[in-house]
Structure 1
Amino acid sequence: MRISVVQKSLAVATASIALAVGFTGSASAAAYDGQDPISSGCANTAITAKSSGIYVGSTQVGTIELRYSTACRTVWARVRSTGPYGTATITRTSNWDWDRCDSLSWNSSMGQYSCYTPMLNDAGVQSYASGSASASNGYNSGQVDTARY
Structure 2
Amino acid sequence: MRTILKYAFMYTFAVMITSAFLTAGPQKAYADNHYDDKIEQKYEALKEYSETHKGEAVETARELREDIDRRIDTLENRADEEWDNMSSDAKTKYRKQMRQLRHQQNEISEWIGELKHSTGEAWEDVKGSIADSYEDTKEYAEDVADNF
Larger strand share, 1 or 2: 1
Who wins on radius of gyration, i.e. which is larger?
2
TM-score (norm 1): 0.35
By percentage of residues, which structure has more helix?
2
The TM-score, its normalising length taken from structure 2, stands at: 0.35
